[in-house]
Homo-oligomer: A and B are copies of this chain.
Amino acid sequence: MSDPLRLGIAGLGTVGTGVVRIVRQKANLLAERAGRPVTISAVSARTRDKDRGVSLATYDWEDDPVALARRDDVDVLVELMGGSDGPAKAATEAAIAAGKDVVTANKAMLAHHGQALAEAAEAAGRVIRFEAAVAGGIPVVKALTEGLAGNEMTRVMGVMNGTCNYILTRMQSAGLPYETVFEEAQQLGYLEADPQLDVGGIDAGHKLALLAAIAYGTRVDFEAVELEGIERITIEDIRHAADMGFRIKLLGVAQMTGRGLEQRMSPCLVPAESPLGQLEGGTNMVVLEGDQVEQIVLRGPGAGEGPTASAVMGDVMDIARGARLPTFGTPAAALAAAAPARTATPAPYYLRMALDDKPGALAKVAAELGEAGVSIDRMRQYRHDDSTAPVLIVTHKTTRGAIESALAAMERLDVVAGTPVALRIEQV
């Protein structure tokens, strides 16, 4: 049996503890599968004296993750601290400079610095693996980079923030407004310290940017992701969408078009009976569409100790077994700068607005839609008690530009109360 693969684990939160537990409890299984033992040399975290439910006594302790990364007895830095910059980035750079491989769950760091880190790693002959950064326990990075390597990808989609999906499905099942469920989620500890990372779509946007880079061989470009959070989704939107056979999901879509790469993370309507529509609670789902494979759907837990540690260990085992791939599948130097494209792929849209309850109001709205070149597929006006009537419109396929023109014109109408909401209906 070959030399052991020696890990240095930086970050001992839920996931780090889970990785320690797997390495301790499954030593024989891992050694048999990898053809060599997998061991831990040293660990690092902010707080040393804390009962984590797993013994760390046999590992050296480093207060400084950079020192951990540079240790002679560490072959792989397992970076589980998080944060796009700071100690995580410093330790990752130190590891690469010292000739170590890196396994990380850090989507923010790679979304912002992925290209530079990949170039540094490849120049040093080292690998960076990040399965745990995208969609938790689902081995989607592997599926896309390796399993589907014979495909030109045509579209990549995903529900990749479990907290948002929990909020949206809980609103629907319990009939509760956004604010109430948001507070519930906060009390349950489901939300990041900065909730905007979740409900603003930022966390999921990081993941989408990573998948897009792999899928299309482009440089990761998080800045180009069109981000829209779920804060404006009302219980009425969810009910009305359900009435028409849809579900609302915070859906990421990356699509290469003739104009460039479209990347968007936004609340969308999807058919209720589709796999995406049926996804409940904190579960994640990624849909991979390629010119050969047609469509692959992957579903699994998007967070949690076991699932995320499982993804980290998949990467560790790949390194132990000698698999060595460029960070984003294609060598970093060959990754093209993506030409970012504003969303222009046509789709039907869902529009919700409040109209003053007086004759001719609807006609004015319909006229503005016609003026903008948007045609109506279905329209519903709901019963109402106050002076404005909720009106829903599902359009035929149209462009986002046309919808935005129509919305701008409507806001100028004296019969439309408040700001209309427009949600894309993604064809899945």
Binding site for B on A (CB under 8 A): 18, 22, 26, 29-30, 32-35, 131, 137-139, 142-143, 146-152, 217, 273, 275, 278, 290-301, 304, 306-307, 309-314, 316-318, 321-326, 329-331, 334
Which 7 A-B pairs have CB atoms at the shortest separation, nearest pair first?
Answer: A150-B313, A139-B147, A149-B317, A292-B310, A292-B306, A293-B310, A296-B300
Contact B294 A301 (CB under 8 A): yes
Q: List 25 A-B contacts (CB under 8 A).
A: A22-B292, A26-B150, A33-B217, A34-B149, A35-B326, A35-B331, A139-B146, A142-B143, A142-B146, A143-B147, A150-B309, A150-B314, A150-B316, A151-B313, A275-B278, A278-B278, A292-B310, A293-B301, A293-B307, A294-B304, A294-B306, A297-B299, A297-B300, A298-B298, A321-B325
Give CA–CA (A150, B34) in the complex, Å: 10
- Specify which chain B residues have a CB less than 8 angstroms from the CB of A325 in the assembled complex: 321, 323
Give CA–CA (A295, B261) in the complex, Å: 32
Contact A296:B294 (CB < 8 A) given known A147-B139, A148-B139, A313-B149: no
- Specify which chain B residues have a CB less than 8 angstroms from the CB of A324 in the assembled complex: 321-322
- Specify which chain B residues have a CB less than 8 angstroms from the CB of A33 in the assembled complex: 149, 217, 329-330
Contact B300 A294 (CB under 8 A): yes
From B30, B142, B217, B317, A32 is in contact (CB under 8 Å) with B217
Please name the residue on chain B nearest to A316 by beta carbon. B150
Please name the residue on chain B nearest to A288 by beta carbon. B300
A162 to chain B, nearest CB (A): 12
Give CA–CA (A30, B292) in the complex, Å: 14
Give CA–CA (A310, B147) in the complex, Å: 8
From B26, B151, B321, A310 is in contact (CB under 8 Å) with B151
- Specify which chain B residues have a CB less than 8 angstroms from the CB of A151 in the assembled complex: 310, 313
Contact A299:B296 (CB < 8 A) given known A149-B313, A310-B151: yes
Give CA–CA (A148, B143) in the complex, Å: 12
Contact B310 A150 (CB under 8 A): yes
- Specify which chain B residues have a CB less than 8 angstroms from the CB of A312 in the assembled complex: 150
Counting chain B CB atoms within 10 Å of each CB, the highest count among A137, A290, A329 belongs to A137
From B296, B309, B313, B317, A139 is in contact (CB under 8 Å) with B296
Contact A296:B150 (CB < 8 A) given known A35-B331, A321-B325: no
A180 to chain B, nearest CB (A): 26
Contact B307 A300 (CB under 8 A): no
Counting chain B CB atoms within 10 Å of each CB, the highest count among A151, A291, A326, A331 belongs to A151
Contact A150:B30 (CB < 8 A) given known A142-B142, A322-B324: yes
Please name the residue on chain B nearest to A18 by beta carbon. B292
Contact A137:B301 (CB < 8 A) given known A148-B310, A310-B150, A334-B32: no
Please name the residue on chain B nearest to A334 by beta carbon. B32
Give CA–CA (A314, B32) in the complex, Å: 24
Contact B330 A32 (CB under 8 A): yes
- Specify which chain B residues have a CB less than 8 angstroms from the CB of A217 in the assembled complex: 29, 32-33
Contact A314 B22 (CB under 8 A): no
Give CA–CA (A318, B146) in the complex, Å: 7
Contact A317:B146 (CB < 8 A) given known A292-B310, A293-B307: yes
Contact B147 A292 (CB under 8 A): no
Give CA–CA (A1, B69) in the complex, Å: 31
A255 to chain B, nearest CB (A): 18
Give CA–CA (A274, B110) in the complex, Å: 35
Please name the residue on chain B nearest to A287 by beta carbon. B299
Given contacts A30-B150, A142-B146, 9 further A-B contacts (CB under 8 A): A26-B152, A32-B331, A33-B149, A35-B331, A139-B148, A147-B314, A150-B314, A293-B300, A297-B297
A54 to chain B, nearest CB (A): 14
